[in-house]
Chains A and B, each alone.
Chain A
Amino acid sequence: MKNQLKFLLATLVLISIVLTSCNEDDTTTGPKDEFKTTPYTLVLPSNLPPAILPADNPLTHEGIALGKALFFEKMMSIDGTVSCGTCHNQGNAFTDNDKKFSEGIVGKLGDRNSMPIYNMFYHTKGFFWDGRAKLLRDQSLGPIENPLEMGETLENVVNKLQAESKYRNLFYKAFGDSTVNSLKMSLAMEQFMLTFVSGNSKFDKVERGEATYTDSEQRGKDLFSTEFENGSGVKGADCFHCHGSANFSNHEYMNNGLDTESEFTDMGRAKFTNRPTDNAKFKTPSLRNIAVTAPYMHDGRFATLEEVIEHYNSGIKASPTLDVNIHGIKNGMNLTNQEKLDLIAFLNTLTDEVFLSNQEYKESK
């Protein structure tokens, strides 16, 4: 009997060794065992494709909390006047309050329109109007050192944050180490911004069978997703080529015919790639929440959606990098006034009030 017990014990010990022997990835054991993060599960509405999340930066409640504090932190700027949230206002889908260009430190004006922030997990081809940042974490640090935005150095920001017990505490909770550095800052801000989900507009509700379009909205949707000159005689406004997908963007860089070659003042993507074939190409913006993100285009040249639609209807200017699919409409689409109104009615169904007022994205008081 005694022998049998010993045998059992020996077997159990050995099996437990076997069970733990493959746990090479487990880094939570060992000396840091009081440090523990809580995984955050990103839940998307059923009509959205799965999020493409970075494998090397898993979302945690603690990381998101740090990211949120940093997003609204004015110490990020040299004179303590500007945070990310200053030019990315939730009520405008995180764009800048109807401003063409944003005001940075001491009233300096930027040179590109502030971009919205939501569904960033669908942006697989880089960030900002010119794709200058490969990952969202890279983009999150850009404005800090931009002289027209926050005008600060990363080194100074790290030192300022390190001096605050609030941040030492938040960094410890998120990363198990109270040392502040710019990589951890960027990972936390990336996490926070990845939680911005917009998928509860009227459009989404119709997709899920929870609402129905008015006649005008339906006509607008049909125009939106029908090609121009399709041979069938059905009128189309050809929007879907570039603004297709569940996020209303192909997330690529394109020339949409704003200027002729001699009028190019901002070379867009080419500034970053140095390829003439990228001249005047800019990121295709998502059209979700488009009604609250005026003005429009990289330079905010159009104040209203009416002006934007008129551009595509009658204002396309040819140039060597004009996108292939825009070539098809360069001689004008002859949309009627009613058709333009219908398109705007459909675009208005993309406004997501749930997202625009979601308490989770608001500054913690």
Chain B
Amino acid sequence: MNKYITAIVISFALLLVSCESNSTSSEPTNEKVTLSVTIDHNFGQETVDPEVSMHTNSSGNEIRFSKLHYLMTNFVLVNSSGEEIVLDSSAAYINMADGRVSFDLPNIPEDDYTELRFLLGVDSTTNHQNPNLFAASSPLNPIINNLYWDWLDGFIFCSVEGYHYKDGQMKGAFAYHIGLDENLMKINIKNNFKVKKGTPLELNFDLAAYFESPNVINITENAPITHSDKAADFGLSSKLSENLLNAFSIKGDK
């Protein structure tokens, strides 16, 4: 009789654990949650409305942005004890004009954090792997992001496009495409933030900083298009990738 009871108990124990594939282990550490990250695209204090709003940079270029899209990978969160939460294969594709401005980072322990790091672009190994091997739904699938260019044998990390005006008259267009391993941008944002269930993390991408921090870019004094070839663009891509290091912030800082 005892054996029956044992069998029943074991089986029910199995039954209880067999459906738990989605829950996390019950270690005494903090609960792990899915962190939703949202990015706002602004020009200083002004909201950017793709293809519509006009913004004037410090060089006096009046700019209407048509496109801003980029890849973010290898996220790292540093908590207040200095421990790094490394999200190895994490990746996100952001497209401002399409309204694709949010993504999820799963399995983040609820905690107080002091730093967020990520790559703007992809590491060299990922950059040169066969692009057809990314999963269909992966942000790195070239069909999803339109940022893989065969001639470059790699990804464009960040693409900013738009039109520029002087005194309301259209002067032309610009297309700044930053790629190549040497331009990979390691973004490091230091600011306190909490990870808590149901609370999104809000980031800001400042397009004013993109044109002036620290390198002041005057659109009319540069080639209208760069594909990151330093010899051809007289250093424009290097300046822009330096500026991009200062374009991201966690909302509420500064």
Contacts and interface: CB of A to CB of B under 8 A. Distances in A.
A362 to B, nearest CB: 28
Interface in B189-234: 223-225, 227, 229, 231-233
Nearest to A326: B173
A251 B144 CA distance: 10
A230 B11 contact: no
Contacts of B66: 324
Q: Which of A244, A251, A252 neighbours the largest number of chain B CB atoms within 10 Å of its CB? A: A244
A17 B51 CA distance: 59
A46 B132 contact: yes
Contacts of B134: 49-50
Contacts of A324: 66-67, 161-163, 173-175
A50 B141 contact: yes
A232 B223 CA distance: 13
A312 B85 CA distance: 50
Contact of A14 (B7, B141, B143, B232): B7
B109 interface: no
Contacts of B18: 18-19, 21-22
A247 B144 CA distance: 12
Q: How large is the interface on B (under 10, 10 to 19, 20 to 34, 35 or more residues)?
A: 35 or more
A94 B38 CA distance: 41
Q: Which of B8, B143, B224 neighbours the largest number of chain A CB atoms within 10 Å of its CB? A: B143
The main secondary structure of chain A at its interface with chain B is: loop
A320 B170 contact: yes
Contacts of B162: 324
Contact of A245 (B98, B148, B161): B148
Contact of B143 (A22, A226, A245, A320): A245
A123 to B, nearest CB: 9
Given A230-B229, A232-B229, A328 B143 contact: no
A15 B143 contact: no
Contact of B151 (A10, A14, A17, A226): A226
A232 B232 contact: yes
B73 to A, nearest CB: 18
A35 to B, nearest CB: 27
Interface string B139-181: 0011110101111000000000111000000101111000000
B237 to A, nearest CB: 11
A18 B15 contact: yes
B132 A50 contact: yes
Interface residues of A, number: 46
Contact of B231 (A3, A50, A53, A231): A231
Interface string A19-37: 1011000000000000000
Contacts of A245: 142-143, 146, 148
B62 to A, nearest CB: 14
A308 interface: no
Contacts of A50: 132, 134-136, 141
Q: Which of A17, A229, A230, A250 neighbours the largest number of chain B CB atoms within 10 Å of its CB? A: A230
A353 B229 CA distance: 38
Interface in B82-137: 98, 131-132, 134-137
A240 B149 contact: yes
Contact of A247 (B12, B15, B143, B149): B143
A15 B14 CA distance: 8
A46 B19 CA distance: 37
Given A49-B132, A52-B137, A252 B223 contact: no
Contact of A15 (B11, B146, B170): B11
B15 A21 contact: yes
Contacts of A320: 170
A196 B233 CA distance: 42
A244 B149 contact: yes
A125 B145 CA distance: 11
A325 B11 contact: no
Contacts of B227: 227, 230
A95 B128 CA distance: 36
A19 to B, nearest CB: 8
B151 A230 contact: no
A11 interface: yes
Nearest to A55: B137
Given A49-B131, A50-B135, A250-B146, A327 B224 contact: yes
Nearest to B138: A50
Contact of A18 (B14, B132, B144, B175): B14
14 contacts: A7-B4, A7-B7, A10-B8, A15-B11, A18-B14, A19-B18, A21-B18, A229-B223, A231-B233, A245-B146, A320-B170, A327-B172, A327-B173, A328-B173
Given A21-B19, A51-B136, A52-B143, 15 more contacts: A7-B3, A10-B7, A17-B15, A21-B18, A22-B18, A49-B141, A229-B223, A231-B233, A240-B151, A244-B150, A324-B162, A324-B173, A325-B175, A327-B173, A328-B175
Task: List the 4 shortest-distance A-B pairs measured between CB atoms, nearest first.
Answer: A231-B232, A14-B11, A327-B173, A277-B51
